[in-house]
Amino acid sequence: MERRKFIRNSFLASAATLTVGQSFAGNKNGNSLTESKPFNLDYAFHDGMFKNNAGEDFLEQIKWAYDQGFRSIEDNGMMARPVEQQKKIGDLLAKLGMRMGVFVITSDSWHWKTSLATGKQEWIDKMMKDCKEAIEVAKRCNAKWMTVVPGNFDRSQSHDMQTTNVITALRKGAEILQPHGLVMVLEALSDNPDLFLRGTHQSYMICKAVNSPACKFLFDMYHMQRNEGNIIANIDKVWDETPYFQIGDNPGRKEPGTGEMNYRNIFKHIYNKGYKGVLGMEHGNAKPGKDGEMELIKAYRDADSFK
């Protein structure tokens, strides 16, 4: 699934008006797992993942997922939501003691164009504008992490010059976010070969060069399995610049256990290293309907049973 489509579909799934209900523990559909305690790691689901059991309203999905043991959410399209929806989501998360994972810093899909690698002022200005807007969004929904993708290659320039341009732009963004305690996390992707940022070592080098607590690495294990593999060893190499992970089995970009990746071992390794952050469930459901959603939760229970 291309990331643009993933973000678009996640946002479209939330088109219904969000309303805050009164009960945070009730499950109106009667479906629940006997083991509804919190997971060992903090997995963050996204809008639409549990809509068949909880309904179209994202707030109801949050309450339902809380009952299943989840304690965080992600919402790539948060910046495109109306302000009141952002506030309602943030208020509900605070009431439940849940965390907000990443949303994407972007206003016009500049992440998927030839942008920051060019060094052109127009793209730097767009990024700085979006970072300033992201500060206000983060306040409403209690967010700390925001995804940034530097865009596509600029084939007219050397790779070293493009890297320099990206570092320069990210430093400017970090200067805006750092005073507010916010962190942009760079995501290396595998969607197409035109994307500039593609690997762990490249991302790690850029984070070191930006040299700011406001610029770190988002380790999306699905993309890194496709681009380079060697997941556990590479996690260790970039650990000190990696405050955030995302999940998706390969092939297929579905829940753990549906592909070739041994997520129980990966989760155990991350847990044993002392990780306390969020792991975003940025993938689709392997099977449709209510039963498919329950099987997805069971898959996470199985992968999380490493202790």
pLDDT of 267-278, one tens digit each?
999 999 999 999
Residue 5 is predicted with a pLDDT of 52
pLDDT of 98-128, one tens digit each?
999 999 998 777 888 999 999 999 999 999 9
Cα angle at 127 between 123 and 131, to 5 degrees?
A: 170
Residue 112 is predicted with a pLDDT of 85
Domain count, the chain: 1
The Cα–Cα gap between 229 and 238 comes to 14
Calculate mean pLDDT across residues 226-254.
98
Evaluate if residue 17 carries a pLDDT over 50: no
Residue 192's closest CA among 157, 149, 242, 243? 149
Calculate mean pLDDT across residues 2-17.
47
Calculate mean pLDDT across residues 179-202.
97
Residue 15 is predicted with a pLDDT of 42
Where in the sequence is the domain holding 91, given as residue range(s)? 3-14+33-303
pLDDT of 132-141, one tens digit each?
999 999 999 9
CATH number of the domain at 39, please.
Answer: 3.20.20.150
Cα angle at 212 between 141 and 104, to 5 degrees?
A: 35
DSSP 102: -
Q: Does residue 268 form part of some domain?
A: yes
Q: Does residue 159 form part of some domain?
A: yes
Evaluate if residue 304 carries a pLDDT over 50: yes
Residue 110 is predicted with a pLDDT of 82
Calculate mean pLDDT across residues 229-255.
98
Residue 16 is predicted with a pLDDT of 41
φ, ψ for residue 121 (rounded to 5)?
Answer: -60, -35
Evaluate if residue 21 carries a pLDDT over 50: no
Q: Does residue 231 form part of some domain?
A: yes
pTM to 2 decimal places = 0.89
Ranking 35-39, 70-74, 114-118, 204-208 by mean pLDDT, the lowest is 35-39
Calculate mean pLDDT across residues 45-64.
98
Evaluate if residue 201 carries a pLDDT over 90: yes
Calculate mean pLDDT across residues 136-155.
97
Q: Does residue 64 form part of some domain?
A: yes
What percentage of residues in the chain have a pLDDT greater than 70?
89
Calculate mean pLDDT across residues 243-249.
98
pLDDT bracket for residue 12 (50, 70, 90)? very low
Q: Does residue 26 form part of some domain?
A: no
DSSP code string of 107-162: SSSGGGSS-GGG--HHHHHHHHHHHHHHHHHHHHHTB-EEEE---B--TTS-HHHH
Mean pLDDT of the chain: 91
Evaluate if residue 2 carries a pLDDT over 70: no
Place of tokens 């959603």: 293
Residue 106 is predicted with a pLDDT of 85
Q: Does residue 24 form part of some domain?
A: no
Residue 18 is predicted with a pLDDT of 44
Evaluate if residue 76 carries a pLDDT over 50: yes
Task: Judge contact between 17 and 60, C-beta under 8 A.
Answer: no
Annotate 149-204 with three-state secondary structure: CCCECCCCCCHHHHHHHHHHHHHHHHHHHHHHCCEEEEECCCCCCCECCCCHHHHH
Q: Does residue 244 form part of some domain?
A: yes
Q: Does residue 23 form part of some domain?
A: no
